[in-house]
Chain A
């Protein structure tokens, strides 16, 4: 069964360092997303991406964040200068773009900022 894969599963970094989280969406999907979940809190939308550009972003997704689809398979989230409050589980998701709205989520990348 096709699935969304994310790497790394866990990353520990120092405050101020740059982090890149990687995702391989399901191959025939057209929409890509990043969500995050701070421990004990809700899953929150960060950004959606379609046709090589951002289609929507939340207020969380400030200038410290960027997304990229550098080739035909990977979708990355970059945090330029990490803060303590960026510690969270980051989920990548993808969908076909059909109106069923089924987002397939990866297992997440846990980011710990020290």
Chain B
């Protein structure tokens, strides 16, 4: 079983729709969970960061973590064409700084005008 699994997509939605992304993981030691956005030929950019289980909201973005199910989600409300990118989940077991992040393979999202 892969340590972090993520549907590669592509996920195509009309502008204004809700985008729903998720990752599953197998390592119960993971405590810090992140979502990164990566545009073509660019480096990953941090969108959301959560610790342990629970929800976190930031503008149009909501991140959810369910440690009991080893399942994390990212929701993007009122999606825009500029949201078209690859979304990567990442997680770590200790204080994220100074320790390695384990990434999912990324989900490609296309928001059509």
A→B interface (CB under 8 Å): 4, 31, 35, 41-45, 48, 50, 55-56, 58, 91, 93, 95-108
Nearest to B32 among chain A residues (CB) is: A101
Per-residue A-contact encoding for B82-112, CB less than 8 Å = 1, 0 else: 0000001010100111111111111000000
> A4 and B92: CB pair below 8 A?
no
B54 within 8 A of A: no
Whether B46 lies near A42 (C-beta < 8 A) is no
Find A108's partner among B43, B92, B97 (CB 8 Å cutoff). Answer: B43
Q: Which residues between 1 and 55 of chain B lie within 8 Å of chain A, taking CB atoms?
A: 4, 32, 34, 41-46, 49
Q: How many A-B contacts at CB < 8 Å in the complex?
A: 71
Interface size on B, residues (CB 8 A): 25
A4 to chain B, nearest CB (A): 7
CA distance A56 to B101 in the complex (A): 11
Whether A101 contacts B92 by the Cβ 8 Å rule is yes
State the Cβ distance, A73 to closest chain B Cβ, in Å: 19
Give Cα A105 to B44, complex, Å: 6
Given known pairs A42-B105, A42-B106, A107-B41, the reply for A102 and B46 (CB within 8 Å) is yes
Offer 15 A-B interface pairs, CB within 8 angstroms, sorted by A. Answer: A4-B43, A41-B105, A42-B105, A43-B90, A43-B101, A43-B103, A55-B98, A55-B99, A58-B100, A95-B98, A99-B97, A100-B49, A101-B95, A105-B43, A107-B41
Taking a contact as CB atoms under 8 Å apart, the answer to whether B97 and A105 are in contact is no
Cβ of A48 and Cβ of B99 under 8 Å apart? yes
Most A CB within 10 A of own CB, among B32, B43, B99? B43
Decide if B103 touches A44 in the complex (CB within 8 Å). Answer: yes
The residues of A that contact B49 with a CB separation of less than 8 Å are 100-102
- Tell me, in angstroms, the Cα distance from A102 to B43 when the chains sit together: 13
Instruction: List the 7 closest pairs (A to B, CB-CB), nearest first.
Output: A101-B96, A105-B43, A45-B100, A43-B103, A95-B97, A97-B97, A42-B105
Contacting residues, chain B, for A55 (C-beta < 8 A): 98-99
B-chain residues with CB within 8 Å of residue A44 when the two chains form the complex: 103
Contacts of B105 in A (CB 8 A): 41-42
